[in-house]
Structure 1
Amino acid sequence: MNDKAAVGFGGTASERLFTAVRLPPELRGAIGGMCRSLSRELSFAKWTHEEDYHITLQFLGDTDPRSIPELVSALKGTARDFRPLTLSLRETGIFGPPSAPRVLWAGVGGETDRLEELHSRIVAATLPLGFRAEERAYKPHVTLARKYRGERAFDPGHLDAFTQEAEALRMSWEVEEWVLFVTRMHKKPMYEIVETITISKK
Structure 2
Amino acid sequence: MATIRAFIAVEIDNQTWQKISELVSILKKSNADIKWITDGQMHLTLKFLGNIDKDKVLGISEAISNISDNFNSFKIAFSKIGAFPSLNHPAVIWLGIDKGAESLKTLNEKIEIALEKLGFERESREFKPHLTLGRVRSDKNMPNITKLLKETAFYLVNDVQIDKLTLFQSGLNPKGAIYSIILQKYLQNI
TM-score by length of 1: 0.83
Q: What residue number does 1:75 align with?
A: 64
Q: What residue number does 2:189 align with?
A: 201
User: Which SS does the other structure have where 1:133 is aligned?
Assistant: coil
**Number of residue equivalences:** 188
Q: What residue number does 1:120 align with?
A: 109
1:172 aligns with 2:159: yes
Say if 1:155 and 1:61 are closer, same or farther in 2 by CA, change over 3 A: closer
1:184 aligns with 2:171: yes
Q: Show CA shifts across 1:129-168 (max 9, x none).
A: 111111010101000011153245366443232354x5xx
RMSD over aligned Cα, in angstroms?
2.1
Q: What residue number does 2:84 align with?
A: 95
Q: What residue number does 2:14 align with?
A: 25
TM-score by length of 2: 0.88
Say whether the 8 Å CA contact 2:27–2:148 is kept in structure 1. Answer: no
Say if 1:16 and 1:32 are closer, same or farther in 2 by CA, change over 3 A: same
The offset of 1:188, in angstroms, is: 5.8
User: Which SS does the other structure have where 2:152 is aligned?
Assistant: helix
Q: What residue number does 2:125 align with?
A: 136
Q: Show CA shifts across 1:40-96 (max 9, x none).
A: 225133111122121111111111112211210111111122111111111100103
Identity %: 24
User: Which SS does the other structure have where 2:70 is aligned?
Assistant: coil
The offset of 1:29, in angstroms, is: 1.9
Show structure 2 runs of 5+ residues with no match. none
The offset of 1:170, in angstroms, is: 2.5
User: Which SS does the other structure have where 2:62 is aligned?
Assistant: helix
